Amino acid sequence: MVELPNYKGAVIIGLFLSHGGLSYASDNNNYPRLGFEQAFSKFFYVWLVYRVFSHYCYSFPRFRTRNYIQTSSVTFSTRSLPCLVEVFNAFYKDGEKVVP
């Protein structure tokens, strides 16, 4: 898990163009994690993406509702991984996601 395979790196870049992103779980965490969320109607797409990253994840995708805007979605996140630091540094400047 120290090096990210080329195919998975390409999928992450594609996810950045939609609703994917990297974040640190806490200030004490040294490595970022990948998070991805889509509307519930896109469940099969989320499942496909999850299958690509499933061995990096600690749980199955979760159903999520937000009552204040009346929507539902499916989301998953990976564990915090050292192989994601390079990707995070390439696409995040001052804590903001930037597509170069």
Report the distance separating Cα 19 and Cα 75, nearest Å: 10
pLDDT at position 92, please? 87
- Residue environment code for 69-79, b if the CB has 16+ CB neighbours within 10 A, otherwise e: eeeebbebbbb
What is the block-wise mean pLDDT of the chain (100 residues), using blocks of 10 residues? 80 84 86 91 92 92 82 90 87 81
pLDDT at position 16, please? 82
* All domains in the chain, ordered by first residue: 6-97 (3.10.28.10)
Please report, as a single letter, which amino acid is at residue 30: N
